[in-house]
Structure formats: structure tokens, C-alpha cells
Amino acid sequence: MSKSFTLPGSYVDAKNNKYANSIVLQPYSSAVLIKTFDAAGTVNKAPSVTISTPVDSATFNSPATITINATASDNDGSVTKVDFYNGNTLLGSDNTSPYSFAWNNVAAGNYSITAKATDNDGAVTISAAIAISILKPNAAPTVNITSPANNASFNSLASIIINSNCPLYSGRGIISKQE
């Protein structure tokens, strides 16, 4: 008994037979199909997609929540989904316009985000990459005096070398006391 299979769009086989939206196969038979035509027999045009926010080279403080917004359209059909990526890692998808994804708790680092739009005939377009930087939180610096010891006493007019460990400044200070 033959069986009908639904196809997402139109295809052509090796003998240039065209199939629009479905194919019927006999038992124990198969078909190799290449998707190149839409239902009207014309070449499917890929959708367009761009990331509208954040802008390229944007910076945020960690931990960050980044809302990625994309604009996508398809001149000869419709956009069925937009996938959002960090490099090759899928972050999430949105099937309805306006296309958006909230990326939560993003750690400090540098990231490259893209959006991938898929149309109703399976054509795909990937946006230009957007570089973003997530900065470590701005914490107050710490400093500890390592010498002289607490409650040390000195003679009048002595030069005192003060040593400290401070991540922002390393060195020694000299204080002269005069009476």
C-alpha cells in the first residue's frame, strides 16, 4: 500500500520531477529530494535577519540580563522562527514577531551573538555577529598596611617606610614626621 509524506515546501528529484508539499511512495521505495523550489515553482529566497539590540561592542556589568531583539522578514513567504546563539551555542528561539530572547545571569566575559531566521520553506539566514562584553562588578579596592606593625613607635624626625598590599598600587610610601 502506498504512503503519502508531507513535505515542507517544494522539491525536485534526480530526474527533475517536482514535488510540492507532499510525495507518495510505494512500499519499499525511496526518493532523494533536493529542496530548491517553492509551491509556485520558483526559487525560494532566504529570509533576512538582523540583531537590533544590543548594539555591536555594547558592555554590561555582570551578572547581566541581556535582551536580544531581532528583526526578520521573508519577501516570498513567512519567517517561522528565529534562533539566538552565543557562538555555536543555541540560547533560545522565538516563533513570533517581534523576535526576542532574554539571556539571564550572563557571567563576565566576551561574547559573539547571532540570530538565525528560518522561513516557511526551510531557507535559513544567519545575522552578522554582534560582539558584547560583560564586565566584572566594580568592587571597592582593599588595602592592608604590612609594615610598620600596629602601634609601632618612632623617634622624632624619623623617616618611616610604609609598605602595603593593594591590587591597584604596589609600592612604598615615606612619611616624615617633624615637630
pLDDT at 10: 72
Residues 29 and 66 in one domain: no
The number of beta carbons lying within 10 Å of the beta carbon of residue 90 is 10
Look up residue 14 and give its amino acid: A
∠ CA 128-134-136, nearest 5°, is: 165
Which residues span the domain enclosing 17?
Answer: 3-37
The DSSP secondary-structure symbol of 166 reads B
pTM score, whole prediction: 0.59
In a domain, residue 42? The reply is no
Amino acid at 114: T
pLDDT the model gives residue 172: 47
**How far is Cα of residue 77 from the mean position of the Cα atoms in its chain?**
26
The answer to whether residues 126 and 66 belong to one domain is yes
Same domain flag for 81 and 109: yes
Say if residue 108 is in the same domain as residue 168: no
Residues 113 and 58 in one domain: yes
Three cell numbers written together for 91? 540560547
Residues 62 and 124 occupy one common structural domain: yes
Q: Name which of 75, 64, 134, 141 is nearest 105 in CA terms.
A: 64
Would you state the pLDDT for residue 173?
A: 46
**Same domain flag for 70 and 149:** no
- Quote the pLDDT of residue 176: 43
Q: 30 with 54, same domain? A: no
Distance between CA atoms of residues 22 and 4, nearest Å: 7
pLDDT, residue 37, reads 54
- Cα(65)–Cα(54) distance, integer angstroms: 11
Q: Tell whether 129 and 58 lie within a shared domain.
A: yes
Q: Is residue 43 part of a domain?
A: no
pLDDT at 31: 85
Domains of the chain: total: 3
Q: Could you give the count of Cα atoms lying within 13 Å of 46 in the half-sphere of its Cβ?
A: 9
* Residue ranges of the chain with per-residue pLDDT less than 50: 170-179
> Do residues 32 and 57 both lie within one domain?
no
Query: What is the pLDDT at residue 42?
Result: 66
Contact 126, 52 (CB under 8 A): no
Alpha-carbon span 42 to 121, nearest angstrom: 12
